[in-house]
Amino acid sequence: MGLLNKKDSKLVLDPLADNNPITIQVLGICSALAITAELRPSVVMAISVMFVLGIGNVVISLLRNIIPSKIRIIVQLIVVAALVIIVDQVLKAFAYELSKTLSVFVGLIITNCIIMGRFEAFALGNSPWRSFLDGIGNALGYGIILIIVGFFRELLGSGTLLGFPVLGDPIAKTGLYATGYENNGFMIIPPAALIVVGIIIWVQRSRNPALIEEN
């Protein structure tokens, strides 16, 4: 990457694979289970988290020398909450349709462990630019997993992608359904997300044995 030196680009690229927040650090699992039944909310959640984590990391990093360590968690929480409320209000005012699709998910960003985790682990000890890159990288890593899980759950569970039928019509029995194929209702419920995430972790670790912890 021409724009970033090697150390900086590592900040963005590492969380995409070998230090992925969901599959390696096992953070942000709650939202990965809750909102991935369809692809669209997964994509929007990924974008919103990127916004909040990118800016939040910068804010915390700018304040890192003046935050009293005793109340740093509360300070972090307030920064996330304030950002999330602003995102929510701006969406309601200027992208009303989108804000309705997101409904509760925007609020859920506050409870996303990745955000507090990156504030605590990275932004408190690094410069704003590096923190920004770290935030974007982790949000991307989170988003990729969300989109993969959302893709499979919507495809196998509802036979649609982003709401468009891709496998034919299950009621009129056209397309793939004509061969006797049925949607897997299990994919729509949250435990299915756990299984898909599990499969991703399995594939990732068998491709890169260095990721497997020794006991």
Partner 1 sequence: MALDTQKNVYTILFAAGMVLVVGSMLAFVSSALKPTIKENERFEKQQNILYAMGVNQNSDEGSVSFIPTSEVEQTFFQHIKKQLVVEGDQVTESPEAYLIDMKKEIAASKKGLAPKLPVFIGEKDGKAYYILPMYGKGLWDAIWGYIALDEQLTVQGVYFDHKGETPGLGANIKARYFMDDFSGESILAGNRLAGIQVAKGNNDPLNRDKEDNQVDALAGATITGNGITAMIAETMYLYRDYLQTIRAK
Which residues here bind partner 1, judged by CB under 8 A?
35, 37-38, 41, 65-71, 74-75, 78, 82, 85-86, 89-90, 92-94, 96, 100, 103-104, 153-154, 157-158, 163, 165, 171, 185, 188-189
Distances (CA, A) of 173 to 9, 34, 153: 49, 30, 20
Closest to partner 1 by CB, 2 vs 68, is 68
CA distance 156 to 193: 12
Q: How far is the CB of 36 from partner 1 (least distance, A)?
A: 9
Tallying the residues shown for the chain, one arrives at 215
Q: How buried is 210 (Cβ within 10 angstroms: 0-12 exposed, 13-18 middle, 19+ buried)? A: exposed
Q: How far is the CB of 69 from partner 1 (least distance, A)?
A: 7
C-alpha angle 91/93/94, rounded to 5°?
70
Q: How far is the CB of 88 from partner 1 (least distance, A)?
A: 10
CA distance 136 to 139: 5
CB atoms within 10 A of CB 136: 18
Q: How far is the CB of 34 from partner 1 (least distance, A)?
A: 9
Q: How far is the CB of 68 from partner 1 (least distance, A)?
A: 4
Question: Which amino acid makes up residue 211?
Answer: L
Closest to partner 1 by CB, 20 vs 48, is 48
Closest to partner 1 by CB, 103 vs 208, is 103
CA distance 113 to 102: 19
Closest to partner 1 by CB, 82 vs 194, is 82
CA distance 121 to 185: 39
Give the tokens for residue 161: 């992608």
Closest to partner 1 by CB, 12 vs 152, is 152
Four-CA torsion 89, 47, 204, 11, nearest 10 degrees: -100
Closest to partner 1 by CB, 70 vs 207, is 70
SS3 call for 164: strand
Q: How far is the CB of 165 from partner 1 (least distance, A)?
A: 8
